Homo-oligomer: A and B are copies of this chain.
């Protein structure tokens, strides 16, 4: 039993090394940097969305200036040109540590459309966030929908 377990682990370890070599074999420094930067951008998006969501749920007190700033920053993040971040050859399956589906590059216009949707929803949120809590709450769905639609179409499973 102990021997069998030992062999399993060894086979598992070999498999992991093989997969890792396959997945990382052709990653250039430029591709690695782009993947890191787009994850950072998603982190910026997630932070401001989370802050707005927390205000919408009443977990963070509503304050027009804070809510507006969060919405403005979200709009700025959504306005970024994805072409220098989702660069060729950085799809999930080709490289490790990314969930960017290959469909991003076969349907580039569709991918870009989601950024436009998020930008539009964020711009509406800028208006709403400065108005009152009820308006902010009513505008959360547009942002959630934009995020969800893009992730559904273009984000692969957890690595």
Q: Spell out A's residues near B (CB within 8 Å).
A: 30, 33-34, 36-37, 40-41, 43-44, 47-48, 50-51, 60, 65-66, 69-70, 72-73, 76-77, 79-81, 83-85
Alpha-carbon distance between A39 and B92 when the two chains are bound, in angstroms:
25
14 A–B contacts from the bound complex (CB under 8 Å): A34-B47, A36-B43, A37-B43, A37-B44, A37-B47, A40-B40, A44-B80, A48-B84, A51-B84, A65-B83, A69-B81, A69-B83, A73-B84, A73-B85
Contact residues in B for A69 (Cβ distance below 8 Å): 81, 83-84
Give chain B nearest CB distance to A51 CB in angstroms: 6
Q: A41: nearest residue on chain B (CB-CB)?
A: B44
Flag if B51 contacts A47 (CB, 8 Å). Answer: no
Total identical chains: 2
Flag if B76 contacts A79 (CB, 8 Å). Answer: yes
Alpha-carbon distance between A99 and B66 when the two chains are bound, in angstroms:
23
Contact residues in B for A84 (Cβ distance below 8 Å): 48, 51, 66, 69-70, 73
Contact among B33, B76, B85 for A80, CB-based, below 8 A: B76
Alpha-carbon distance between A84 and B60 when the two chains are bound, in angstroms:
13
Contact residues in B for A76 (Cβ distance below 8 Å): 76-77, 79-80
Contact residues in B for A48 (Cβ distance below 8 Å): 37, 84
Contact residues in B for A36 (Cβ distance below 8 Å): 43, 47
Contact residues in B for A47 (Cβ distance below 8 Å): 33-34, 36-37, 40, 85
Contact residues in B for A81 (Cβ distance below 8 Å): 69, 72-73
